[in-house]
Amino acid sequence: MTAKRKFVFIAIGVVVVGALIALSASKRRQPTVQVRLEKVGKRDLVSIVTASGKIQPKKKVDVSSDITGRIVSLPVKEGDFVTRGQVLVRIDPTQYEAGVERAQAMLASAQAAGAQARASKDQATRAFNRARDIRAQNVQLMSQEALEQAQTQSQIADANLEAAQHQVDVSAAALRESQDALRKTTIIAPMPGKITRLAVEEGEVAVPGTFSRETGLLMTISDLSVIEVQVQVDETDVVRLHVGDSTEVSIDAYQDTTFTGRVTEIKNSAVLTAASSGQGGQEQAVDYQVVITLDRPPRDVRPDLSATARIVTATRSQVLTVPIIALTVREPEAADSTVHRTDTSKAALRAQQPPATASARPAGRDTTVRGKPKEIEGVFVVDTLTKVARFRAVKVGITGDEFFEVVSGVREGETIVAGSYQAIRDLKSGTHVRQAKGPMAGDSANARRAGS
């Protein structure tokens, strides 16, 4: 081998060794991020909407008085069961009895006046008939003027009789009104049920609730055979609910006990409540009332008990899933492909919000803000050999408590970055990662917030 060839081989070896040394040094200088890794697997998913509200009977009646008077008898108390037609309240009837007697006297007087008017009418009619007969026999015996006066008196008597008859009708109506007021001094139960509220005591004055329902309220009777839970559901979740959805209800008063039910009604009108806007002001939170009927309510349940309902909106069996916390958003150049969201639940939108200083933009939803490119959803998939995490767009379906259903974008068995929240938020495609030892700070807290 010549000296020239030896020199060439030596130069090539030096270059290769230098390149290897430089590559090794470059790898040592490249930062490695500690993350929590997890494999994509199949799970059963249940999509749930959680809402809170109050226990209410399906049917209840607020009992009030139609007249004013002092309560002289109150034969029931709160908690009693009553039957239809049972006496609930007696009001002092003295003035109403006097009213009935007065109306009866006025009716008798009107009837007497009517009889007098009828007699006058008969007399005037006979006088007119005689004058007319006399005039017909001899015009000299009855002048035309006298005949016209007799006719006028007959007509006046007819009018007086008609007025007297109307006065009898008025007096009869006044008597019926007085008798009705007298009957209302005794208030009876309009339906069977339990007295769940008693707002008055014996000796108080009952007043009609014409201007204020609360002022006129005497008691409330509730039919506790059918119990409902009336909950408030956010506008972003109510579109996923349907009449007939199964529900699991927890009542605060019954610890460690859950009850089943079904959604029986979804109100169409919104309930507007004041909510904090995040800038120190107030904005309108839009909720909708959803009614859930319990299948087997507790026997001693009471109205207005606080309850929490978990409404099942969808189920999936053995589908690919990724943790909610793993889903993030990036600009298109950071992804392998584009995707559109199919789920807009609150859990999905909150999954990407930072703890306190988060942007108000819903995570994962394609948005364009004043010329900025759309952001797309995806996860960081880790190469098991190189330990490099790269962002990959995915399409997700329903949302469970802790996981998203994955429709496309990843395969079963692939390794993804599943925490912590801060690490995923700051992670860039192409970064080297390694499995963290032990739980990461803020990981479980953010996962719980995302799935709530």
Question: pLDDT for 285-302, tens place per residue?
Answer: 889 999 999 999 998 889
Answer for the pair 393, 332: CB distance below 8 angstroms, yes or no: no
Looking at every residue in the chain, the average pLDDT score rounds to: 83
Residues 352 and 274 in one domain: no
pLDDT at 191: 95
Helix (H, G, I), strand (E, B) or coil at 362: coil
pLDDT at 452: 38
Which percentage of the chain shows pLDDT scores above 90?
A: 58
Residue, of 136 and 181, whose pLDDT is higher: 181
Question: Is 263 a member of any domain?
Answer: yes
- The domain tally of the chain equals 3
Question: Is 221 a member of any domain?
Answer: no
pLDDT at 74: 95
Indicate whether 172 pLDDT > 50. yes
Question: Is 14 a member of any domain?
Answer: no
Indicate whether 271 pLDDT > 50. yes
Question: Is 358 a member of any domain?
Answer: yes
Indicate whether 18 pLDDT > 90. no
Question: Is 111 a member of any domain?
Answer: yes
Q: Other C-beta atoms within 10 Å of 441: how many?
A: 10
Q: Which two tokens stand for residue 306?
A: 């606080």
Residues 136 and 253 in one domain: no
Residues 287 and 176 in one domain: no
Residues 353 and 425 in one domain: yes
Lowest mean pLDDT among 61-65, 158-162, 342-346: 342-346
Query: What gap in Å lies between CA 90 and CA 203, rounded to an integer?
Result: 10
Residues 165 and 272 in one domain: no
Of 230, 227, 207, nearest in space to 218 by CA: 207
Query: What gap in Å lies between CA 392 and CA 330, rounded to an integer?
Result: 9
Indicate whether 349 pLDDT > 70. no
Residue, of 282 and 317, whose pLDDT is higher: 317
Domain boundary among 286, 315, 344: 315
Of 239, 236, 248, 235, nearest in space to 292 by CA: 248
Domain boundary among 289, 315, 341: 315
For 115-152, write each residue's pLDDT tens digit.
999 999 999 999 889 888 888 888 788 888 888 898 89
Residues 109 and 162 in one domain: yes
Residues 330 and 431 in one domain: yes
- What number is the average pLDDT over the span 236-242? 91
Indicate whether 360 pLDDT > 60. no
Indicate whether 60 pLDDT > 90. yes
CATH number of the structural domain spanning residue 263:
2.40.30.170
Indicate whether 25 pLDDT > 70. no
Residue, of 381 and 439, whose pLDDT is higher: 381
pLDDT at 361: 34
For 206-221, write each residue's pLDDT tens digit.
999 876 778 889 999 9
Residues 392 and 331 in one domain: yes
Answer for the pair 194, 300: CB distance below 8 angstroms, yes or no: no
pLDDT at 338: 37
Residues 321 and 435 in one domain: yes
Residues 305 and 344 in one domain: no
76 confidence band (pLDDT: 50, 70, 90): very high
189 confidence band (pLDDT: 50, 70, 90): very high
What's the one-letter identity of residue 25? A
Query: What gap in Å lies between CA 446 and CA 452, rounded to an integer?
Result: 10
Residues 321 and 405 in one domain: yes
Maximum distance among all Cα pairs of the chain, rounded to whole angstroms = 180
Query: What gap in Å lies between CA 412 and CA 318, rounded to an integer?
Result: 11
181 confidence band (pLDDT: 50, 70, 90): very high
pLDDT at 419: 84
Lowest mean pLDDT among 30-34, 102-106, 141-145, 391-395: 30-34
Indicate whether 313 pLDDT > 70. yes
Question: Is 200 a member of any domain?
Answer: no
pLDDT at 333: 65
pLDDT at 448: 42
Indicate whether 363 pLDDT > 60. no
pLDDT at 440: 64
Indicate whether 198 pLDDT > 90. yes
Domain boundary among 183, 214, 237: 183
Residues 176 and 242 in one domain: no
Indicate whether 79 pLDDT > 70. yes
Query: What gap in Å lies between CA 368 and CA 142, rounded to an integer?
Result: 108
Indicate whether 341 pLDDT > 70. no
pLDDT at 229: 96
Question: Is 1 a member of any domain?
Answer: no
Question: Is 80 a member of any domain?
Answer: no
The residue range of the domain holding 119 is: 93-183
